[in-house]
Amino acid sequence: MNIDYSPEELEFQQEVRAWFKENLPEDLKQKNMRGEMLTREEIISWQKLLGSAGYLVVSWPPEHGGPDWNATQRYIFDAERAAAGAPVGFSMGIIMLGPVLMAFGSPEQKEKYLPKIESAEDWWCQGYSEPGAGSDLASLKTQAVLDGDDYVINGTKIWTTYGHYANRCFCLVRTDNECKPQAGISFILIDDMSAPGIEIQPIVSIDGEHHLNQVFFDNVRVPKENLVGQEGQGWTIAKYLLTHERTTIAGVADSKLNLANIKRIAAENEVDGKALIDDEQTRLDIAQAEINLMQLEFTNFRTLADTAAGRAPGPESSLLKIKGTDTQQELSELKVKMAGYYAFPWHTEGFVGPEDFAYATQTYNFLRASTIYGGSTEVQKNVVAKMLLGLR
């Protein structure tokens, strides 16, 4: 039992660290650290830079352009990325669609789509949720009906993150109404988000920003070659993604950067005659958050060590999403508390007070979503109770 990286891993860490130091633009770093939203252009050019260094599709196997790293290397990379202050960027194509195509896609699909994900040319968005369906995917209603060589899609998808930035979209659609609800779902690719019949309606969220969309499909024609796998295989594909290894789901690396940032802010900002860190409650709140994060990091290490050793991750891995989002919310709330009255001005108004606090409230508001999307905390607990504890 030991907690150290091997000499090779340490060398790798240095290499990655040096790359970020040299390549991450300072203004991008500052915006990211403040919690400010990045523009589409900023994200794309940064991802292209990553792509050109072979640092974009890091979880992919080498035959598809991945760097052939093991789980520990991917973990180190992500830790260095976060520690450098670099943003996560858009990753639906890399994390979601890539693995699906590799496992279920046709040779033509792989050839057509994978290279453009690798090079950050394509921005994929995800069409899963529908109004009224929430966490209950089996009830989705968007139809795809085969008409000649095309599927004709009608319906609507909601909570489509960065749908207005994306040029392509992968969707779950219903291709059969007769069979059991889950068996009638298929996985399909939409090549062009500006195609006729597609309307994207912005949804502004409670942080005042436009991340989300509702997408309407009105007789949208998609060639039948864009079906991934077989008709009716959509449910299987969706589940495949859920069990796919994700060593960064806990968000440890970014939370560590956040905590370090909070400690710096607490030391630098003076309130009522003393530094924030010299206020006993703030000091203990920060300590408690750091302890919670320590826990998260080591639970993550346990999963990582299992993965690295080729073992299935232990039961603790199912808790990473719940605890990870708790920690993100806790840190964002801590920053709001530290901001005091400076949490009140809306971030769209520029720097009314210290820059460090300008986006505190926006981040806090936005992160309320973290315990809702991707399987709400309540649904996650249902699953753990059933699957791991055998309660039903």
Partner 1 sequence: MDFSYSDEQKLIKEQVEKFVQNDYSFETRNKILEMDEGFDRSVWQQFAELGWLGVPFSEEDGGFGGGAIETSLVMEAFGNGMVLEPYLSTIVLSGNALAFAGSSEQKAELLAGIIGGELLMSVAYAEAKSGYNLANVGTSATKAGDAYTVSGEKVVVLGGASADKLIVSARTSGGNSDEDGISLFVVDAKAAGVEVRGYKTMDGGRAANISFNDAPAELLGEEGKGFAVLDRVIDYGIVAASAQALGEMNSSFQKTLAYMKTREQFGKAIGSFQVIQHRMVDMFTHVESSRSMLIMSSMKVASSDAVERKKAVSGAKVYIGDAARAVAQDAVQLHGGIGMTEELDIGHYFRRLTLFCGIFGSKGYHLRRFADQG
Catalytic residues: 245
Query: CB-based burial of residue 386 (10 Å sphere; 0-12 exposed, 13-18 middle, 19+ buried)?
Result: exposed
Query: Helix (H, G, I), strand (E, B), or coil: what is residue 232?
Result: coil
Q: Which is nearer to a copy of itself, 48 or 283 (CB)?
A: 283
Find which of a copy of itself, partner 1, none residue 302 binds, CB within 5 to 8 Å per kind.
partner 1
Tell whether residue 280 is a contact of a copy of itself (CB under 8 A): yes
Yes or no: say if 217 and 142 are a contact pair by the CB < 8 Å rule: yes
CB atoms within 10 A of CB 144: 28
Closest approach, Cβ 293 to a copy of itself, in A, equals: 22
Find which of partner 1, a copy of itself, none residue 387 binds, CB within 5 to 8 Å per kind.
none
Each residue 306-335 as x (binds a copy of itself by CB under 8 A) or -, in order, gives ------------------------------
Q: Which is nearer to a copy of itself, 6 or 281 (CB)?
A: 281
CA distances to 54, 127, 140, 154, 320 from 136, in Å: 37, 14, 8, 20, 22
Tell whether residue 26 is a contact of a copy of itself (CB under 8 A): no
Closest approach, Cβ 280 to a copy of itself, in A, equals: 5
Closest approach, Cβ 288 to partner 1, in A, equals: 6
Which residues lie closer than 8 Å to 232 by C-beta, 6 or more apart? 175, 176, 179, 183, 184, 185, 186
Tell whether residue 272 is a contact of a copy of itself (CB under 8 A): no
Which residue has tokens 């995800």? 126
- Contacts to a copy of itself from residues 282-301, by CB under 8 A: 284
Query: CA–CA separation, 1 vs 9, rounded Å?
Result: 17
Where does residue 179 fall: left (phi above 0), alpha (psi -120 to 50 degrees), or beta otherwise?
beta
Tell whether residue 27 is a contact of a copy of itself (CB under 8 A): no
Give the closest residue to 326 by CA, choosing from 368, 277, 355, 290: 368
Q: Which is nearer to a copy of itself, 225 or 279 (CB)?
A: 279
Find which of partner 1, a copy of itself, none residue 136 binds, CB within 5 to 8 Å per kind.
partner 1
Give the closest residue to 251 by CA, choosing from 367, 133, 387: 367
Q: Which is nearer to a copy of itself, 2 or 281 (CB)?
A: 281
Closest approach, Cβ 287 to a copy of itself, in A, equals: 12
Residue ranges in contact with a copy of itself by CB under 8 A: 280-281, 284
